[in-house]
Amino acid sequence: MARRNAKIIDPSGDLDARKASILEAVVAEHIDTAQPVGSTSVAHSRDVKVSPATVRSEMVTLEREGYLAQPHTSAGRVPTDKGYRYFVDHLKSGVMSSAQQHQVSEFFANVRGEVEDVLEQTSTLLSHLTNYTSMVVASGHSHATILSVQLVSMDARHQLLVSVFSDGSVIKHSVTSDFDATHEEVSEASRQLNALLLATTLETRVQVPSRTDHVATLIRESVSVLHAEKPTTDGEQVFIGGSSHVAEVFDGVETVRKVLGILEQELLVVTLVQDILDQGLSVAIGSEHGYEPLSSCAVIVAPVSIDGEPAGAVGLLGPTRMKYREALAAAGVVSQHLTRHFGGEDDLA
Amino acid sequence: MARRNAKIIDPSGDLDARKASILEAVVAEHIDTAQPVGSTSVAHSRDVKVSPATVRSEMVTLEREGYLAQPHTSAGRVPTDKGYRYFVDHLKSGVMSSAQQHQVSEFFANVRGEVEDVLEQTSTLLSHLTNYTSMVVASGHSHATILSVQLVSMDARHQLLVSVFSDGSVIKHSVTSDFDATHEEVSEASRQLNALLLATTLETRVQVPSRTDHVATLIRESVSVLHAEKPTTDGEQVFIGGSSHVAEVFDGVETVRKVLGILEQELLVVTLVQDILDQGLSVAIGSEHGYEPLSSCAVIVAPVSIDGEPAGAVGLLGPTRMKYREALAAAGVVSQHLTRHFGGEDDLA
DNA sequence: CTTTGGCACTCGATTCTACCGAGTGCCAAC
DNA sequence: GTTGGCACTCGGTAGAATCGAGTGCCAAAG
């Protein structure tokens, strides 16, 4: 079509149809062979109607424009991050095999248990579906309200503060006092804490009694440990599935080590996923996410919401040459199922 | 010493002093070079006062007896699992560097938070100390008694059952009813549940009301989900630290994959550690633990107890040629600190 | 002016060979 | 029983030769 313009280097990054199909062919082939791809195989691929020679000359352009790279003279071409980016941006969204679709429906029809269990199992599911490492992130309860708090006496000087939130999460904190508290004092404190904190969020500032008696001290102590929760973690949880796939999917011990090292740090994974989501991306390729150790990785994310509110995300981590179509489809389908699962009729907690 | 008997093949597996020191030298050298070790380097090592020729002839014996193996003719010797076993059985227990000792004390002096957090951080500590993957297992609350149960209403048909145990653990279960329960009904059920279950364990059979009103139904339902907890998992928790070390410490993608695959399955890790503990071992080498995919691994375990009761264990996973002395020392020291930490004055929960 | 087949050239990968040397097993001497 | 000496083995490495996939360029064809 816009052939006449082919000579003009298009700064907007859009390619004419022929370059596009060549780039696509290169990416597609490199994804499944992991080898540099040469002009002949591109020329023979569907959607490319020109001779190897023409392909070659187009490839030098694509290389100059940064979509392809040559490992060394007289080798085939390999896509750059930019090349992959173009590829995924122009990917007509694929669809999962019906066997897999079935597997997912089956899974969500049969899962039981608490949210945490469901999320954990979901991450396993996702990694099995794709053969990549999966991440399932549940955002924190920063704006969940407190449904109940209870102070339970462990022994005279140790109590356990158990708080239940409207999102179904439960957290415990241990409270230590430097005096012996009677059972009566503890349950009185528990009663008052309940009255005090009911329907508040962790961000609400509450008026604590300033008296110095045992009950008041327990209350102050309890409120303080509870509110201390906030700054450290936001209560996000992350479930990682199929980390063993890291070993099959990356080559080079060093890469494997680095990637595993990142996955070990849950906080990092949460922020990574969050960052990508915030950028409005669904795929971050190579250096796009800014984590140097993951520069040979691509990360796919798909948001999950509950009642219209963003509530987390599912993610996949693979090499930049991952099978985007399948992986995107899987992440999408699973995130939709999750959204439906938690939005819908079933147990919320 | 028992030199005169050297010719007699000792079926009990005890070696005369010279063979022992040769075997030890081979193992020690192979551990830090990862190479087959030859007669000359053994002969030059401390504790071995004989010539290479003598070493060689002893080595053929050691090989025949199954302590050493030869990768191929005219290569050095490599220890077999049996060789490593002898080595660790006769290891005079080492001691950690004082810098490390300090690091551990420091850690336990400063660590805060709930048990889970402490255990998780402990596993990180242990893996940092040793450069191996660490496992920290906390046994289940099968004989902990219930301190409190509370049924919290989420919405009309969903309640959350929150149970607090004497070991400081808290578990939640969601309860779904097929009728709309009022707040009053829920709190009445909660009250009765408390009375019913207080001081029982998950194994105690309790008499539930057989009435068909809402409160009784809630109670039956709650008791049932709570007691259903038992069979699936015993409530063990496992924290794995430093899985990225797997990639540095094993060679061969396939091994790395297999090991990571095992580590992914928490249940497997728990039983692995438990099995080894049950066998009364502190190290399981190669095939001793019976997990085929881990046949090139050694696993070190050290029990942790609270108030004299076994309460879990710490473990390390490395290659069969791991640095046993250091790793054993680290696991030992950390398990002791952990035992002291939870047995002692500090927070129990 | 674009496309194409032809062709010389490049350069990593593979294969082959020679060779080195660590290490062994054996034996005769101590 | 221990030791030095010696012939032999065999994996690992280095270098040379070769292969071949793939390129860049050019001249002819459309």
Using a CB–CB cutoff of 8 Å, tell me whether A253 touches chain B: yes
For B148, list phi and psi in degrees, rounded to 5. Answer: -165, 140
What residues does each domain of chain A span?
11-89, 98-139+236-343, 146-232
Cβ of A59 less than 7 A from strand D: yes
Other CB atoms within 10 A of residue B28 CB: 20
Predicted local distance difference test score (pLDDT) of residue B235: 77
> Can you tell me the distance from the alpha carbon of A257 to that of A262, in angstroms, rounded to the nearest whole number?
9
- Nearest CB to A257: which of B166, B247, B348? B247
Helix (H, G, I), strand (E, B) or coil at B245: helix
The DSSP output letter for B37 is: B
**Confidence class of residue B344 from pLDDT cuts 50, 70 and 90?**
low
**How distant is the Cα of B251 from the closest Cα of chain A, in angstroms?**
8
Fold of A11-89: Arc Repressor Mutant, subunit A (1.10.10)
Of all residues in chain B, what percent carry a pLDDT higher than 90? Answer: 79
Helix (H, G, I), strand (E, B) or coil at B228: helix
Other CB atoms within 10 A of residue B273 CB: 26
Q: Which CATH architecture has domain A146-232?
A: 2-Layer Sandwich (3.30)
- Burial environment of residue B131 by CB neighbours within 10 A (0 to 12, 13 to 18, 19 or more): middle
**Confidence class of residue B349 from pLDDT cuts 50, 70 and 90?**
very low
Q: How many CB pairs under 8 A join A and B?
A: 119
Cβ of A74 less than 7 A from strand C: yes
For residue A128, give every residue at least 6 positions away whose Cβ sits within 8 Å of its Cβ, in sequence order, or none.
A241, A242
Q: Name the closest nucleotide to A50, judged by C1' and CA.
A: C3
Predicted local distance difference test score (pLDDT) of residue A15: 82
Which pLDDT tens digit goes with each residue over A143-200?
789 999 999 999 999 999 999 999 889 999 999 999 999 999 999 999 999 999 999 9
Interface residues 57-86 of B with strand C (CB < 7 Å) = 59-60, 70, 73-77
**How distant is the Cα of A215 from the closest Cα of chain B, in angstroms?**
19
Using a CB–CB cutoff of 8 Å, tell me whether A243 touches chain B: yes
Using a CB–CB cutoff of 8 Å, tell me whether A241 touches chain B: yes
Predicted local distance difference test score (pLDDT) of residue A3: 38
For residue B155, give every residue at least 6 positions away whose Cβ sits within 8 Å of its Cβ, in sequence order, or none.
A348
Predicted local distance difference test score (pLDDT) of residue A1: 39
Beta strands in chain B (DSSP E): 68-69, 78-79, 133-138, 146-155, 158-165, 170-176, 237-241, 283-285, 297-306, 309-319
Looking at chain A, which residue has its C-alpha nearest residue B240? A264
The separation, in Å, between residue B19 CA and nucleotide D1 C1' comes to 15
What is the CB-side half-sphere exposure of residue B223 using CA atoms within 13 A?
A: 23
The residue ranges of chain A whose pLDDT is under 70 are 1-13, 230-233, 344-349
CB contact under 8 A, A152 and B160: no
The separation, in Å, between residue A37 CA and nucleotide C13 C1' comes to 16
Using a CB–CB cutoff of 8 Å, tell me whether B253 touches chain A: yes
Mean pLDDT of chain B: 91
**How distant is the Cα of A206 from the closest Cα of chain B, in angstroms?**
22
Query: Does the pLDDT of residue B8 top 60, yes or no?
Result: no
The separation, in Å, between residue A279 CA and nucleotide D23 C1' comes to 39
Cβ of B37 less than 7 A from strand C: yes
**How distant is the Cα of B20 from the closest Cα of chain A, in angstroms?**
36
Using a CB–CB cutoff of 8 Å, tell me whether B160 touches chain A: yes
The separation, in Å, between residue B85 CA and nucleotide C28 C1' comes to 38
Using a CB–CB cutoff of 8 Å, tell me whether B224 touches chain A: no
Using a CB–CB cutoff of 8 Å, tell me whether A152 touches chain B: yes
What is the CB-side half-sphere exposure of residue A197 using CA atoms within 13 A?
A: 31
The separation, in Å, between residue B70 CA and nucleotide C23 C1' comes to 11
- Nearest CB to A168: which of B154, B170, B241? B154
Using a CB–CB cutoff of 8 Å, tell me whether A158 touches chain B: yes
Predicted local distance difference test score (pLDDT) of residue B5: 40
Which pLDDT tens digit goes with each residue over B233-252?
677 899 999 999 999 999 88
Which pLDDT tens digit goes with each residue over B174-211?
999 999 999 999 999 999 999 999 999 988 889 999 99
Domain B12-89 matching CATH 1.10.10.10: the answer reads yes
Looking at chain B, which residue has its C-alpha nearest residue A241? B264
Using a CB–CB cutoff of 8 Å, tell me whether A268 touches chain B: no
Paired strand residues for B176:
B158
Q: Which CATH architecture has domain B98-139+236-343?
A: 2-Layer Sandwich (3.30)
Using a CB–CB cutoff of 8 Å, tell me whether A319 touches chain B: no
Query: Does the pLDDT of residue B25 top 70, yes or no?
Result: yes
**How distant is the Cα of A316 from the closest Cα of chain B, in angstroms?**
16
Predicted local distance difference test score (pLDDT) of residue A137: 96
CB contact under 8 A, A347 and B158: yes
Which pLDDT tens digit goes with each residue over B45-101?
999 999 999 999 999 999 999 999 999 988 999 999 999 999 999 998 889 999 999
Q: What is the CA radius of gyration of chain B?
A: 27
The separation, in Å, between residue B26 CA and nucleotide C15 C1' comes to 37
Predicted local distance difference test score (pLDDT) of residue B24: 96
Q: What is the 3-class SS of chain A, one letter each residue?
A: CHHHHCCCCCCCCCCCHHHHHHHHHHHHHHHHHCCCECHHHHHHCCCCCCCHHHHHHHHHHHHHCCCEECCCCCCCEEECHHHHHHHHHCCCCCCCCHHHHHHHHHHHHHCCCCHHHHHHHHHHHHHHHHCCEEEEEECCCCCCCEEEEEEEEEECCEEEEEEEECCCCEEEEEEECCCCCCHHHHHHHHHHHHHHHCCCCCCCCCCCCCCCCHHHHHHHHHHHHHHHHHHHCCCCEEEEECCCHHHHHCCCHHHHHHHHHHHHCHHHHHHHHHHHHHCCCCEEEHHHHCCHHHCCEEEEEEEEEECCEEEEEEEEEEECCCCHHHHHHHHHHHHHHHHHHHHCCCCCC
Of B263, B10, B280, B296, give the one whose Cα is nearest residue B137.
B263
Rounded to an integer, what is the distance from CA A239 to the centroid of its chain?
9
What is the CB-side half-sphere exposure of residue A258 using CA atoms within 13 A?
A: 14
List the 76-105 stretch of A: residues with Cβ below 8 A of B: none
| Overall average pLDDT of the B282-307 stretch | 94
The protein residue nearest nucleotide D1, judged by CA to C1', is: B54
